[in-house]
Amino acid sequence: MQGFITKNDIEAAVGAVRERTDFEPKIAMILGSGLGPLADEVDAVAGIETSAIPGWPISTVEGHVGRLIFGSLENKPVMVLQGRAHYYEGHSMSSIGLPIRVMQSIGVETLIVTNAAGAVNPEFEPGELMLITDHINLLGMAGQNPLRGPNLNEFGPRFPDMSQAYDKDYKALAREVAAGSNIPMNEGVYVCLAGPTFETPADLRFLHSIGVDAVGMSTVPEVIVARHGGTRVLGISGISNKANLDGATVTTHEEVLEAGEVIVPRLTELIRGVLRKL
Ligand code: HPA
C-alpha cells in the first residue's frame, strides 16, 4: 500500500466484511487498551477477525485482540472494534483510518471512541473517565495527518472543519448519563503522541502548558477520518495512570491494563446509558 489509502483499498476491505455479514450497524465503537471486555456486552450476530480483511491495520499489542463484533446493544445496531492499531506499530496514519472508512461505507453514522490515557491534569485519578471535549492534533501539526494524500471526495471535503470534532449533543448526553448514574467523569483535552515511549517529565510539562488534560497514543487519527466523512463522534478516555510530571513514578503497560478492570464497568454503564438515549 502506498502512503495513503485509495477507494480500491476501501472497496476491497468492505467486500471482505460483506462476504461475512450483511448486518447494517449505525453505531461503531472502538475499544482502547484494557477496555476490550466491553465487547462481551453486545448481543452478537457476527464476528470477524480483522486479519481476514485486506489492508486492515493489525494490532500487535497485548490487550488488543483484533476482532469486529456485530450485533445489538441497548437495542441499537452496533459494530465494535476490539483491538485497534496504533501508529507506533508501524502502520501509516492513513491506514489507521481504513477501519473508519469501512464503518462509514457500511452505514455507520456515529462513532464512540475510547482509549486508555495518562492524566496530565493533576486533578484526575486513575480509574476515572474523561469526556473528550477536544483534541490537540500534535502529530498532524508535524505532518502526520491521516487525510494526507488525494482527497476522497465521496467521503468529504479537502479541508474538513474540526471546530466540533466531538459532537456537542453527544457530550451533553454523556454528562446527563454520568450525573444520573453517579459515574465519576472529568472533561478535557486529549493529545495523541506517536509512542511507543511514555513521556519524559519535560514532555509532560510541555503538554500541560499547551492545555492537555490527558495523553495517549490513539484516537485523534480515527476522529479526523470520522469527521471528514461526516460521522458524529463521542470520545471517552479511561484514565489509567497519573502522568509523571515530577519524574517520581514509572508508567507501565501493565498499569494501563490493570486500570481497565476498574474502568470497564464505569464505561459500560456510561455507554449503555448514552445508547439508550440515542
Ligand atoms: N502516556 C501515553 N499513553 C498512555 C498513557 C500515558 O501515560 N497511559 C495510557 N496510554
Q: Which residues are catalytic?
A: 33, 64, 86, 88-89, 116, 217-218, 241, 253
Mutation test residue for ligand 1: of 135, 198, 249, the one with most atoms within 8 Å of CB = 198
Average pLDDT, the chain: 92
Q: Average of pLDDT values for 224-235? A: 98
Whether 246 is in a domain gets the answer: yes
Q: How many domains does the structure of the chain reveal? A: 1
Whether 1 is in a domain gets the answer: no
Q: Which residue has the CA at smallest separation from atom 9 of ligand 1?
A: 117
Q: Which residue has the CA at smallest separation from atom 3 of ligand 1?
A: 216
For residue 144, give the nearest of 99, 190, 95 by alpha carbon: 95
C-alpha cell at 200: 519524559
For residue 42, give the nearest of 67, 18, 12 by alpha carbon: 67
Q: Give pLDDT tens digits for 56-107.
A: 998 876 655 789 999 999 999 999 999 888 999 999 999 999 999 999 999 9
Q: Is 169 exposed, middle or buried (0-12, 13-18, 19+ CB in 10 A)?
A: exposed
Residue 173 contacts residue 235 (beta carbons within 8 Å):
no
Q: Is any ligand 1 atom within 6 A of the Cβ of residue 57?
A: no
Nearest-10 crossing angle of helices 7-20, 98-105 = 60
Whether 243 is in a domain gets the answer: yes
Q: Give pLDDT tens digits for 40-53.
A: 889 999 999 999 99
Span from the CA of 10 to the centroid of ligand 1 (angstroms): 30
Whether 196 is in a domain gets the answer: yes
Span from the CA of 158 to the centroid of ligand 1 (angstroms): 31
Give the separation between CA 33 and CA 40, rounded to whole angstroms: 15
C-alpha cell at 120: 496530565
Domain limits for position 202: 7-277
Span from the CA of 242 to the centroid of ligand 1 (angstroms): 9
Instruction: Report whether pLDDT(1) > 50.
Output: no
Instruction: Report whether pLDDT(39) > 90.
Output: no
For residue 208, what is the domain's CATH number?
3.40.50.1580
Q: Is any ligand 1 atom within 6 A of the Cβ of residue 106?
A: no
Whether 87 is in a domain gets the answer: yes
Residue 190: in which H helix or E strand, if any? strand 185-192
